[in-house]
Amino acid sequence: MDEIRLIIASDSVGETAELVTKACTSQFNQLGKALEIIRLPYIETDENVDEVIAVAKEQQSIVIYTLVKPKIRKYMKEQLDLYNLDHVDIMGPLMTILTEQLNESPLNEPGMVHKLDEDYFKKIEAIEFAVKYDDGRDPRGLPKADIVLLGVSRTSKTPLSQYLAHKRFKVMNVPLVPEVDPPETLFEIDPAKCIALKIDPNKLNAIRKERLVQLGLNDDASYAQDQRILAELEYFETIVSRIGCPVIDVSNKAIEETANEIIKIVTANKSFKL
């Protein structure tokens, strides 16, 4: 059989059109080596379209295209019809239907799928980061973090880290315990990305007692005693004063509320880039 030549023309990299094309061609056993696929990316001007048409005319190719800008898409269709070239517009018909049904103009921005993919992978990377550097287990994460949360035990550092990770922030949390010196790196990084989580001692006492009960332990353990809590909070104030970072009182705040405050603080820092 004669060779079937296909041209993938796209205003982005052309992966979407190629995937659809290969899904279709895989249904035909006869094609095999008789199939040639050429991808022509970044078709953004009339001149680019003319180049596609020239190649298609010379090789008598079928043109499969994904062009989101209406003017370029229209010009492509006109030229393909003019030279009687077989073609498939993958995106145009559906975009027209959606425009009519939604009564909304499309963004007409090439490469949006890849932007969405990039956001997704950034989120996954941030979630993995939060898990890897949870509870201050590796100080090497401090320079890499977008946000560093500081606080005594039971101030919601871990759930906050995970919540912020879903917003694509790389978060490390560091527990402050009187018996354990924090890593020296903590005092060397930009204090603007450190957030200290303050809590009322009575509130903390109640939270810790509840936690001990959940673990099947007596709620009178030193972990929940007033003297121990006050000592931890005093140590917390010492470290925070040394760093000079912003402080948020989480005593009566939901995770979402605290997270929003944190985001406002770190994004207000002009050196911060997400």
Annotated binding-site residue numbers = 151-158
Distance CA 27, CA 101 (A): 32
For residue 171, the surrounding DSSP H or E stretch is strand 171-175
Q: In what order do the strands lie in the sheet with 194-198?
A: 171-175, 147-151, 194-198, 247-249
Instruction: Give alpha helix (H) positions in the chain.
Output: 15-25, 46-59, 70-82, 92-102, 112-132, 157-165, 201-214, 226-243, 255-268
The binding site for ADP comprises: 151-158
For residue 149, what are its two tokens? Answer: 């949360």
- Token pair 């040639």: residue: 36
Q: How far is CA 95 from the centre of its chain?
A: 26
Distance CA 192, CA 266 (A): 7
Other Cβ atoms less than 10 A from the Cβ of 67: the count is: 28
